[in-house]
Every structure is written in C-alpha cells, then in structure tokens.
Amino acid sequence: MAAVECESKDDSSADLSKTPVFSNETVKTIEEHESQGIPLQTPWTFWLDKAVSGTTVEEYKDNLTKIYTVNTVQSFWAVFNNIPNASAMQVRYSYHLMRDERYPLWEEPVNQKGGTWRLKCHKSDTETIWKEMVLAAIGEQFSECMAEDDEVCGVTVSIRDREDLVQIWNTNATLASKATVLQKVHSLLTDVNFSEFYKPHQSHHAYGRR
C-alpha cells in the first residue's frame, strides 16, 4: 500500500474530549483527500477514550469520541497529522483505529470473539510503535499473517503511568495461535524493545461490566 505522508501540524493540545477535534479548514482538507486520494481496502475509524474505572459497557460506549472515518491514504495522514501525538496525550487516554466504523469495545458482537496482541512499551518508543502498527493495519500488511476466517480489525495505543500499551485487535481469539502477527511486528520494529502477550477479550475480568 502506497502511503504519501502529508505535512504535519504542531498541536500541543492533548485533551480532545474538551475541544473541537478539527478546525473547519482541516475538515475541508480531509474531505478533499477523501474524494481524491488513494482508496484504502476498507474504511478505518479513529476513536478517542479516557479510561474511567467502574463504568458500565454503555457508559464506556457513550464516553467514546469518534474522531473521523477515513477511506483514503491521504485522508488517513490528514487526520493522523492533525491530532496530538500519542506521546502528548494525558495518562489514561487511548487512541483507537478500528476497521470500518466498529466501536473499540470488547463486547460488541463483531468484536466479542476476538482479542488483542498487547505490546507493553517504554514511553520513548510509544509513538514509533503506534505509527508503525497503524500503517501496517491500513496497508493490510497483517493479512498474510492471519489464519483463514481471522483478520486484524484495530490498533489501540493507551497511555499509562509507567509503560504504555499498544494493542493489535483480531476477530477470532481461537485462531490467534496460528497467526504470525508478532513476527511481523518484530520485522517492522527491529530496534524497539517491548514485552508482548495475547489476551482474548472474554478473559478480561471487566468483560461485560467494565
């Protein structure tokens, strides 16, 4: 998948939940890229959330902020370069990039049989890992790594107190052992250290109740 990187804009604001995500001028630019850019294989949607313990599934869903659904390489870059960098976000915030317009929610019917490969990383590496993983996702670089009847459907970066967390979502946890996703990740991040493991959504203690 060809990717033409658009010019980045500096934005020091990391609290997108309290301010308009994009200016009218930026929205116009994104829309132009949507109509004229190189199409992605499927749409991808950027989401933002802040982790709050004790919320119900519906409360969590209501607190999600949809940033934008992109359909082209150029509109992806226009959005990616106009939201704060992952390293600029406050603790407990997460970005998600999900296939189509699915919610980044374990309990959603389209997600509930899946899980995530979880990469715990040093804060100095978070931005690099997040960028490489979303590019691999929209470029369908993981497709050759998946078993039949499985696919990568999202990427998340979560900012935490010590190490940050990058997650790669798949749709079928029972097939995760047949995937070579982690080998692909290591080939893309040859000079980055992180710990890794896989976790099915339904094995989370908060599944279904947050």
Q: What is the pLDDT of residue 2?
A: 33
Instruction: Assess if residue 22 is contained within a domain.
Output: no
Q: What is the pLDDT of residues 33-61, one digit of tens each?
A: 999 999 999 999 999 999 888 888 899 99
Identify the residue with better confidence: 31 or 6.
Answer: 31
Residue 63 has pLDDT above 80, yes or no: yes
- Look at residues 130, 104, 120 and name the one whose alpha carbon lies nearest to residue 51: 104
Q: What is the pLDDT of residues 108-147, one digit of tens each?
A: 999 999 999 999 999 999 999 999 999 999 999 999 999 9
Q: What is the pLDDT of residue 17?
A: 47
Q: What is the pLDDT of residue 90?
A: 94
Contact 58, 97 (CB under 8 A): no
CATH of the domain at 156: 3.30.760.10
Instruction: Assess if residue 109 is contained within a domain.
Output: no
* Containing structural domain, residue 38: 34-102+114-203
Instruction: Assess if residue 108 is contained within a domain.
Output: no
Please report the DSSP string for 14-64 in residue order: --GGGS-SS-HHHHHHHHHHHHHSPEEEEEEEEEEEE--TT--HHHHHHH-
| Domain tally, the chain | 1
Instruction: Assess if residue 77 is contained within a domain.
Output: yes
Judged by phi (left if over 0) then psi (alpha if -120 to 50, else beta), residue 140 lies in: left
Instruction: Assess if residue 61 is contained within a domain.
Output: yes
The CA-based angle 210-69-10, given to 5 degrees, is 95
Q: What is the pLDDT of residues 172-190, one digit of tens each?
A: 999 999 999 999 999 999 9
Q: What is the pLDDT of residue 167?
A: 98
Instruction: Assess if residue 67 is contained within a domain.
Output: yes
Please report the DSSP string for 124-138 in residue order: HHHHHHHHHHHHHHH
Name 19's Cβ contacts closer than 8 Å, sequence gap at least 6: 13
Instruction: Assess if residue 52 is contained within a domain.
Output: yes
Instruction: Assess if residue 9 is contained within a domain.
Output: no
Cα distance from N-terminal residue to C-terminal residue, the chain: 37
